[in-house]
């Protein structure tokens, strides 16, 4: 696993390094750029440049997936509102149609009961059985009678990631270098004063009369008589120590920053993978909502048409009911209506997502049943 992560980081560094040498590459035909030349250019990249590139790469990865995820999230939020409205409209339609079906079946049952009492029920047994098959599944419905599954609550369940810019460590290195350089200068002054028998007062800055012998001491070490040369030697030594400490601290910090940037990039890649998975789940739910909305609308149209058919049956075929010869197509319309209503109730009672917030298999099956039944009804019309 670690080898794979190191390979991914190395590949990313290669991309970053290629960006830094783009000016060279632009002047050459791609086919003429040899691998060893590129390797040579990449080897000259500093840790600081690598850190900047890795941080930039991590920011790009995080920003891109955040933008894509938010786009899907906002779209699903809108579609979910439309989905809920369409579902409520369908429930109202189902209640109305169910009432019409209840009225028709009750009306027909009364007629059959009257005729059965008159003629001992033999002539109407077949029609009674057909009616019973529908009536057994019919119930009085109101909107509150739907055993509705808990509403899916859309939420962002992945904590955001903030890409950090590691400190360059320049200020700390500068302070450490200053301390080291100052200590070097003071040590050199103290060493010379002990050799010359000069007592230095650390509580105040020495004047030129005290400093001149010290500068002369270091000038004579290099066989010079000008005290300015001795002062320059002390200052140069202090500056050299300052630069050494500064460079060492900066280099150490750059190495640590590079390791931090590599780890942060690996975290960014893991974050992207998690958000890609979450985005895919949201997209699947969104596709389901859109498909369900279209199905709901078709159900609304067909159920309202069924309601009109039931009213027509009750009005036109009243004499057929009285004669005990209810039309078989009317029974078919009632059965279709009952099945449409049952499928809607089944769908409404089915949870949309499972425990992992993934579109549930049950809701997929329920929608497939809705579509299969409505397609069956529509296919008989055309």
> pLDDT of 149-200, one tens digit each?
888 888 888 888 888 877 666 666 567 777 777 777 777 777 777 777 777 6
pLDDT at residue 376, rounded to an integer:
87
Instruction: Dig out the tokens for 54 from the structure.
Output: 């890795």
pLDDT for position 320: 64
Whether the pLDDT of residue 230 is over 80: the answer is no
Residue 339 has pLDDT above 50, yes or no: yes
User: What phi, psi does 359 have (nearest 5°)?
Assistant: -50, 125
What pLDDT, on a 0 to 100 scale, did the predictor assign at position 81?
94
On average, the pLDDT of the chain sits at 75
Categorize the per-residue pLDDT at 264 as very low, low, confident or very high, splitting at 50, 70 and 90.
Answer: confident
- Place 223 in a pLDDT band, splitting at 50, 70 and 90: confident
Q: Does residue 268 or residue 5 have the better pLDDT? A: 268
Percent residues over pLDDT 70 in the chain: 67
| Residue 160 DSSP label | -
pLDDT band at 321, cuts 50/70/90?
low
CB of 176 closer than 8 Å to CB of 248? no
Percentage of the residues of the chain whose pLDDT score is greater than 90: 23
pLDDT at 377: 85
What's the confidence (pLDDT) of residue 192? 72
Is the pLDDT confidence value at 329 over 50?
A: yes
Task: Give the residue with greater pLDDT, 290 vs 35.
Answer: 290
pLDDT: which is higher, 165 or 16: 165
Torsion of CA 189, 191, 192, 196, to 10 degrees: 130
Rounded distance between C-alpha atoms, residue 382 and residue 370, angstroms: 19
Q: Which of 119-128, 155-164, 222-231, 237-246 has the lowest mean pLDDT?
A: 119-128
Q: Which residue from 40, 10, 12, 11 is spatially nearest to 25, judged by alpha carbons? A: 40
122/40: higher pLDDT: 122
Asked whether the predicted pLDDT for residue 318 surpasses 50, the reply is yes
Q: Does residue 35 have a pLDDT over 50?
A: no
Contact 82, 291 (CB under 8 A): no
Structure tokens at 22: 């783009």
pLDDT at 379 over 80: yes
Residue 72 has pLDDT above 90, yes or no: yes
How much is the pLDDT for 351?
A: 92
86: Cβ–Cβ under 8 A, 6 or more apart, which residues? 292, 293, 296, 297
Looking at the DSSP assignment, which residues form a beta bridge with residue 359?
A: 353
Give, in order, the Cα–Cα distances in Å from 271 to each of 65, 68, 86, 120, 159. Answer: 9, 13, 35, 77, 9
* pLDDT given at position 111: 65
Question: pLDDT higher for 351 or 33?
Answer: 351
């Amino acid at each position: 696993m670690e080898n794979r992560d190191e390979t991914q980081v190395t590949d990313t560094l290669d991309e970053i390094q290629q960006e830094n040498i783009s000016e060279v590459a632009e002047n050459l035909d791609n086919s003429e750029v040899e691998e060893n030349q590129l390797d040579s250019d990449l080897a000259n990249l500093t840790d600081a440049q690598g850190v900047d590139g890795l941080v930039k790469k991590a920011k790009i990865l995080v920003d891109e997936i955040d933008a894509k995820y938010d786009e899907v999230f906002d779209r699903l939020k809108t579609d979910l509102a439309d989905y809920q409205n369409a579902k409520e409209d369908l429930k109202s339609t189902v209640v109305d149609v169910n009432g019409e079906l209840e009225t028709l079946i009750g009306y027909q049952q009364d007629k059959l009961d009257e005729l059965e009492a008159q003629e001992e029920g033999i002539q109407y047994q077949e029609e009674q059985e057909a009616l019973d098959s529908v009536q057994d599944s019919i119930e009085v419905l109101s909107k509150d009678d739907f055993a509705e599954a808990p509403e899916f609550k859309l939420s962002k369940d992945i904590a955001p990631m903030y890409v950090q810019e590691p400190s360059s460590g320049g200020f700390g290195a500068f302070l450490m270098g200053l301390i080291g350089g100052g200590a070097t200068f003071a040590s050199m002054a103290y060493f010379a004063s002990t050799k010359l028998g000069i007592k230095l007062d650390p509580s105040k800055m020495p004047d030129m009369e005290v400093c001149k012998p010290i500068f002369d001491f270091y000038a004579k070490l290099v066989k010079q008589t000008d005290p300015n040369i001795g002062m320059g030697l002390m200052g140069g030594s202090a500056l050299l120590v300052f630069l050494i400490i500064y460079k060492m601290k900066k280099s150490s910090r750059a190495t640590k920053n590079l390791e931090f940037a590599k780890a942060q990039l690996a975290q960014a890649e893991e974050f992207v993978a998690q958000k890609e998975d979450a985005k895919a789940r949201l997209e699947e739910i969104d596709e389901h909502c859109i498909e369900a909305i279209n199905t709901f609308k078709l159900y609304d149209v067909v159920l309202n048409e069924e309601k009109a058919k039931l009213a027509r049956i009750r009005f036109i075929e009243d004499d057929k009911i009285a004669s005990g010869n209810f039309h078989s197509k009317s029974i078919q319309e009632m059965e279709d209506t009952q099945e449409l209503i049952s499928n809607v109730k089944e769908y409404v009672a089915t949870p949309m997502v499972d425990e992992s917030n993934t579109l549930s298999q049950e809701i997929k099956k329920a929608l497939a049943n809705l579509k299969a039944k409505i397609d069956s009804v529509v296919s008989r019309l055309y």
